[in-house]
Structure 1
Amino acid sequence: MKFSSKTNKKKKLFQIPKTGINLLPPELKIEHQRKRTLLQAAILGLTIFFLFLLIALWMALANYSLASALLQTKTQIASEESETAQLKEITQKVTQLNQTFKLLDLLDRERIDWNAVLKELSATTPTQVQIMGLTLSKQTPNLTINGRAVSLREILRFQTKLESSSYFQNATLTSLQQTGEKESGYIFNLTVNLKKTNERNSH
């Protein structure tokens, strides 16, 4: 036992104390420190990269959802606008048909032969006058003639022929506009009253 105790004392005498001193050469110390710094920077960079990547993915998904919702809303609005336009067009056509039926009924009640009126209008129109449109009305005057003429004289001549016709009366020039410099002439509107059958027969 005494021998063992002496041996332990000798071991303690020759034991190298543990210290935190780095015994590496300065060059290796600097190299190890540089590698450690680079590794830490790489880890930090990767962490930041993945963080930004996650944020970018989240924003992309949010933008996609928003764009999809916006597109769906636009499609729905376009569909509703198309349906509204179609409904408006149908309503206008129905209104025009109703007006046409009312005018036809008016012509029938007033005993006015529309085909005969058109033939008489064609016969009384001078060659230098062009009829551009006709508008029937339930009110007096009940016919508006829109036309074009090469001169004011031809318009007055047309008005006189309408007055002398057995189908028209009270021909009135309501508007007159001279055309542009390149195309000489006049655009006009004339209103007349259509004579009933009994009024024509009395003359």
Structure 2
Amino acid sequence: MIPIKDINLLPEEVYIADARRKKNIARLLLVILFFVVITGVYVQMAKMESVYESKIRSLYASAKERSDMVKGISRIKELQDSITVLKGSVDRIRKSRFDWPGLLNDIAISTPANLSIVNLAADARGMKIAGEAKSEDDIALFIKNLKSLDYIYDIKPALIQEESSGLLSFVINIQFKVK
């Protein structure tokens, strides 16, 4: 006896049509799977492109920021150089100009106790001092003290005369050393 399960009563065309149908379904599934994979790859590439564009924008912004910082540092260096040049100019001007406050301070220190300055006139080449003193020794000490100053070239008494008050009035011409 033949087992029942091996008996097939369907015509062969049905088997061929069923096999074709299964083949078509398999092809359709492969095509759908192909499009799903392609779509997935495209989406992943789009995400990666977006991430890379974001990183590129970030790097560009960072580079621009660093460029601005470099420009700022360059500007600071230019300003420092300008300040150095200006300081040099100020120093040259100070050296070429006469130190009037220092001169007046030195004259005040050089003035003896029994001598007073009544009038003082000056220009870049020299100075004229008029004053009063109790004695000729006070005037001589004043002239000696002034001659010890570095920037004085020559001192000439122009006038010494006795006043009715008993004081001596004097005029001294001072010539400065030229720098």
Whether these two folds match at TM > 0.5 is no
Alignment TM class, shorter chain as reference: 0.3 to 0.5
- TM-score (normalised: structure 1): 0.40
Q: Which has the larger radius of gyration?
A: 2
- TM-score (normalised: structure 2): 0.44
